[in-house]
Amino acid sequence: MSLSSLSGVRSRVTGLISSVAGPSRLFSASAVASASSAKENARRKKAKMLAKRAAHDAQWAAEASDHALGSPHSGDPSALYNGSRLQRTVLTAESVWYAPLPNYAAGEEPAHYLPGLSAADKELLFGAVPAATTALAFDPERPAASAAVAADQEQQTETMRRILDLRNSDKEGIHVVNRQRIAEEFGRKTESGGLDTGSSEVQAALLTYKIRNLYEHLHTGLNSRDTANRRNLRLLVHKRARVLKYFKRQDEVAYDELLKDLGLTRRAVEGEIKMGM
C-alpha cells in the first residue's frame, strides 16, 4: 500500500474516532450540569419549605399564646394570670417537691397530702386510731409497756405522714390534687352546705388549668411538633369559650369577675378564635 493510501486511511479513522468521542464528552458535561441544577432546585425547595414551616409555627405560637393564656402575645402572656385567684389555687410541681421538709418527728404535718385522703381520713389515721390503740394498751401496772406502745404509735404516725406527703407524688398526682382544689375554690355553696362542682365557674377554671398545662407541654423541647395535642389545645380553648359564653348570658358582671379570677381577657375568649394546626 502506498504512503498516500495509508495517509487516507489514517484520516478516516481519526475522523471516525472524533465523531464518536465528541458527542460523548458533550453528553457527559450535560449530565453533570443537569444533576447540579437538580440539587440546587432541591436545596431551594427545602429552604422554602423550612421558611414556610417556621412562619407557620410562629403564627401558631402567637395565636395560641393569645387565646390559650389570655393576654396579648406582644407582652407577657401570663401577666394577668400571675397573682390571679386560679394561680394562687393551683400547686406547681416545684413548689411541692422542693418545699422545706416538715419536722415529722415533732408532729408537724405535710403541707399537702396525696390525693384521695379526706379530712376525715386524716383525723382517723393520725388522731382516733393512735389514741384508741394507746388507750386500749394502757396498763397502770405496766407503765413501761404502756409507754412503749405510745411511742410505737407515735412512730407509726410519723411514718404515715412521711408516706402520705404529696412530695412523694409525680406530676399526675399533683394534677389530681389541683383539680380537687379548683373544684373547692370555685364551686358554689349549695343550700345543703356542699359544693356545686359542676358549675360554669368550676368548668371554666378546670379548662383553663388544662389549657395552661397543655400549652406548657407544647412549648417544651420538641413537643411543638405534637400535632395531636395542638388539636387538643384548640378544642379545649373552644370548649372554654362556649362555657364562658353561656356564663356571660347568665350574669355579665360575674362573668367579668371570673375572667379576672382566671387571668383572661375578653379578647381571648370572645369572637373568632383562630388557632391553626
| Domain topology for 41-101+170-277 | Helix Hairpins (1.10.287)
Say how far apart CA 183 and CA 115 lie, in whole Å. 14
Count other C-beta atoms under 10 Å from residue 32's C-beta: 10
Q: What is the pLDDT of residue 137?
A: 53
Q: What is the pLDDT of residue 263?
A: 93
Exposed, middle or buried by CB within 10 Å (0-12, 13-18, 19+), for 258? buried
C-alpha grid cell, residue 164: 402520705
Q: What is the pLDDT of residue 61?
A: 52
Q: What is the pLDDT of residue 10?
A: 60
Q: What is the pLDDT of residue 242?
A: 95
Count other C-beta atoms under 10 Å from residue 174's C-beta: 22
Count other C-beta atoms under 10 Å from residue 108's C-beta: 12
Q: What is the pLDDT of residue 214?
A: 94
224: nearest Cα among 51, 49, 58, 66: 58
Unique residue bearing C-alpha cell 410505737: 152
Residues in the chain predicted with pLDDT less than 50, given as ranges, are 3, 20-21, 60, 136, 277
Using CA atoms, how far residue 212 sits from 127, 153, 207, 262, in Å, is 38, 43, 9, 11
Provide the β-strand partners of residue 165: 113
Q: What is the pLDDT of residue 250?
A: 94
Q: What is the pLDDT of residue 47?
A: 80
Say how far apart CA 188 and CA 269 lie, in whole Å. 22
Do residues 208 and 264 make contact, with C-beta atoms less than 8 angstroms apart?
yes
3-state secondary structure of 188: strand
Tens digit of each residue's pLDDT (9 = 90 or more) over 35-73: 677 777 788 888 887 776 666 555 545 555 567 887 665
C-alpha grid cell, residue 37: 441544577
105: nearest Cα among 62, 36, 158: 158
Exposed, middle or buried by CB within 10 Å (0-12, 13-18, 19+), for 211? buried
Q: What is the pLDDT of residue 46?
A: 82
Do residues 58 and 271 make contact, with C-beta atoms less than 8 angstroms apart?
no
Annotated domain spans of the chain: 41-101+170-277, 103-164
